């Protein structure tokens, strides 16, 4: 990897897959910023919901994490590592980028079962033996789905925010979460531009931050503590936000130690 180039890990929220215009705009933005390395990590919750519903399965979540029984995993893996990943790949190709579709395993992130009650939901282990630095050196754009494996080859559905944080940690990269909202919001629906550990704990205790956003904020805080730099949460609905963040501007919510 070129040490003079900064590396950014960009996590795309699953809902962006329902908006091809915004998706193309995000990749077009990356195509204009060739002075850095990029890794895109993605989920695809809305797509998974649709596939499971079509197959006749009920879906449930626990503390913002999708319960993933073994019998649902072929659909979850197909939606995330297959359809969603290749949809992103197509948009990247359209914008003259050179994408490579990966699972977390190829990106060096192994998994283990997080909680028995969650089924095949995985927890990230230390990233090792990643192909990502080689791909970045070759000018490729890794697109990483949130599916991983353990050493016995068992597949796991990993929370994409946690996956992005694990890859950023391994690469010592900057980390941006592109989500459905402009920023983390307070109890009055107003944007919070800066959050630290103490403020986050209070907002969670007060019930202002909960569910999927609680997972995202906690993951962002852990990443910020390890990387010793701010981690950003911003909206994919405004591609100009991504350009601004890459240019060093303060957009959305910055999570710091």
114 part of the active site: no
3-state helix, strand, coil in the chain (%, to 5): 40, 25, 35
108 part of the active site: no
246 torsion bin: left (phi>0), alpha (psi -120 to 50), beta (else): alpha
216 part of the active site: yes
The one catalytic residue among 13, 43, 45, 252? 45
The one catalytic residue among 114, 169, 216, 218? 216
Q: Produce one character per residue of 36-45: b if its CB has 16 or more CB atoms within 10 Å, e if not.
A: bbbbbbbbbb
186 part of the active site: no
- Tracing tokens 């990106």 back to the chain, one arrives at 107
Task: Tell me the pairing of strands 141-145 and 36-42.
Answer: parallel
What Å distances lie between residue 23 and 19, 32, 143, 212, CA to CA? 6, 15, 13, 21
49 part of the active site: no
What Å distances lie between residue 222 and 131, 166, 200, CA to CA? 24, 10, 12
The one catalytic residue among 161, 218, 230, 252? 161
Contact, 221 vs 177, CB < 8 A? no
Task: For residue 179, list its beta bridge partners.
Answer: 235
The one catalytic residue among 13, 14, 108, 122? 14
CA dihedral 54, 55, 56, 60 (to 10 degrees): -90
Residues identified as active-site = 11, 14, 45, 161, 216
């Amino acid at each position: 990897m070129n040490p003079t180039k900064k590396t950014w890990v960009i996590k795309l929220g699953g809902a962006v897959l329902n908006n091809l215009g915004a998706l193309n705009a995000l990749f077009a933005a990356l195509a204009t910023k060739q002075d850095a390395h990029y890794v895109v990590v993605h989920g695809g919750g809305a797509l998974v919901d649709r596939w499971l519903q079509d197959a006749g399965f009920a879906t449930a979540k626990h503390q913002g994490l999708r319960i993933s029984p073994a019998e649902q995993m072929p659909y979850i893996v197909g939606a995330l590592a297959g359809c969603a990943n290749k949809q992103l790949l197509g948009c990247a190709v359209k914008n003259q980028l050179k994408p490579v579709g990966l699972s977390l395993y190829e990106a060096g992130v192994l998994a283990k079962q997080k909680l028995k009650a969650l089924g095949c939901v995985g927890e990230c282990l230390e990233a090792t033996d990643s192909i990502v630095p080689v791909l970045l050196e070759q000018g490729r754009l890794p697109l990483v789905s949130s599916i991983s494996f353990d050493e016995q080859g068992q597949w796991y559905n990993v929370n994409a925010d946690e996956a992005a944080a694990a890859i950023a940690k391994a690469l010592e990269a900057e980390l941006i979460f592109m989500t459905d909202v402009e920023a983390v919001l307070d109890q009055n629906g107003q944007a919070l531009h800066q959050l630290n550990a103490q403020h986050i704990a209070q907002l969670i205790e007060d019930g202002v931050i909960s569910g999927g956003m609680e997972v995202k904020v906690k993951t962002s805080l852990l990443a910020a503590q390890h990387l010793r730099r701010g981690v950003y949460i911003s909206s994919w609905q405004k591609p100009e936000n991504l350009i601004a963040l890459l240019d060093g501007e303060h957009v959305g919510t910055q999570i710091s130690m």
